[in-house]
Amino acid sequence: MRNVVIAGASMTRFGKFADRRMKSLVGEAVDDALADAACPPDEVGMVHFGNVLGGLLQNQESSRGQIWLAESALDGAAVVNVENACASGSTALHQAWLSVAAGLFDVAVAVGAEKMFDEERRAGEALFSVVDQERLGPITQELAAEGAQQAIFMGIYARFARDYAARTGATAEDFARVAVKNHAHGARNPKAQYQHTFTVEEVLAARPIAGALTLPMCAPVSDGAAAIVVTTPDRAARWGTEAVSVLGIALGGGRAGANGTVTGAAAQAFAMAGIRPDQVDVVECHDAAAPAELIALEELGLCGPGEGPALVRAGETSLGGRLPVNPSGGLESKGHPLGATGPAQIVELCDQLRGRSGDRQVEGARIALAENAGGYLGPDVASAVVTILART
């Protein structure tokens, strides 16, 4: 397998854009990523395009990437469409990495895009399609106890939060501290959907969503796109690009009744990278709800079992702390346009490793980790991608 680098990375601002079409979002992200890499469009061998709900929300099945690339410089490129729940975009990155690492192409582009906002608010209903439809009734009844009738995944995260609190002693205040931290980070990110700051008291007093979760603890409905240019070190050097090395990347799959999807993917990624968890300098993780960040830190081996709450209480996961987590603002503040979420994590980490994150820069960052998870099989997620990057 060949060494692989990321030569360009870009994303749109995330938000609710009633006046923007998918082609517009995709075109902006793709063209800016190509420009960031100084990559001529005709050198791209393959595009891997991640999207989750386009069939239900835009009534666009089959050739989504081919159609939505029409206003980009990659119109007419060879496309593989990727659908893998909320990990669709990072799975597209995994496939782009694989195509270059295996020597099939010298340049591949991973794109993730989603347009979830509409006036009819159909995204919540569409998300019910992500779980096993033969088990939808029992799953819905099970989650009804969490008080999440219309937001199935917030019910799932409320269940995760309750189980996590029972085994670790984490409190609602700890979950609120995570949200406060991430919104403070997002307030420094011009691409974030929300740029408001909160106090712990304000988070706890906000509108209840499910279980212990209140509105600022939860990822919003979002529109947006992100793109990553993947290539060889030699090609990036020829372009004169400041590239970021892909040290490790692993795709994990779950099964009903079991746990360990994120943990297994992390173990593979660390083994591939040849580093230890304590060598990571900055993290972007899948915090679709605030408790998920604490759970992910433990699943990734970045702290011991039950140690997550102490990290956030001590400010260790904040900018300026020992291990800054979600300097972008995370899904709670930056936004969560499903297919674009994973590539957007990579955009943030590439910026961090290149030293261009402005006043949210993690000083001296050399090794970065992204974790993007998707779907629900019960009690675990259906898929997860863990990516480890390094400054070259």
pLDDT on residue 256 = 87
pLDDT on residue 185 = 98
Chain-centre distance for alpha carbon 115 = 15
Tell me how far apart the alpha carbons of residues 101 and 4 are, in angstroms, rounded to a whole number. Answer: 6
φ and ψ at residue 96, rounded to 5 degrees: -65, -45
CB 126 within 8 A of CB 224: no
Tell me 85's DSSP state.
T
What structural domains does the chain harbor? 5-120+222-246 (3.40.47.10), 129-220+250-391 (3.40.47.10)
φ and ψ at residue 144, rounded to 5 degrees: -60, -30
> Annotated active-site positions, please?
86, 336
The residue assigned the tokens 């605030």 is 290
Tell me how far apart the alpha carbons of residues 354 and 243 are, in angstroms, rounded to a whole number. Answer: 8
Structural tokens at position 209: 């969503």
- Strands in the chain per DSSP E: 5-11, 46-50, 79-82, 107-115, 208-210, 213-214, 223-231, 244-253, 282-284, 367-374, 383-391
Residue 117 Ramachandran class (φ > 0 left, ψ -120 to 50 alpha, else beta):
beta
Tell me 354's DSSP state.
T
Task: Tabulate helix, strand, coil % of the chain (nearest 5).
Answer: 40, 20, 40
Structural tokens at position 33: 């990523």
Structural tokens at position 366: 């050399």
pLDDT in 10s for each residue of the chain, 392 residues:
999 999 999 999 999 999 999 999 999 999 999 999 999 999 999 999 999 999 999 999 999 999 999 999 999 999 999 999 999 999 999 999 999 999 999 999 999 999 999 877 888 888 888 888 888 888 777 766 666 656 788 888 999 999 999 999 999 999 999 999 999 999 999 999 999 999 999 999 999 999 999 999 999 999 999 999 999 999 999 999 999 999 999 999 999 888 899 999 999 999 999 999 999 999 999 999 999 999 999 999 999 999 999 999 999 999 999 999 999 999 999 999 999 999 999 999 999 999 999 999 999 999 999 999 999 998 899 999 999 999 98
Tell me how far apart the alpha carbons of residues 291 and 174 are, in angstroms, rounded to a whole number. Answer: 8
Report angle CA 277, 280, 281 to the nearest 5 degrees.
155
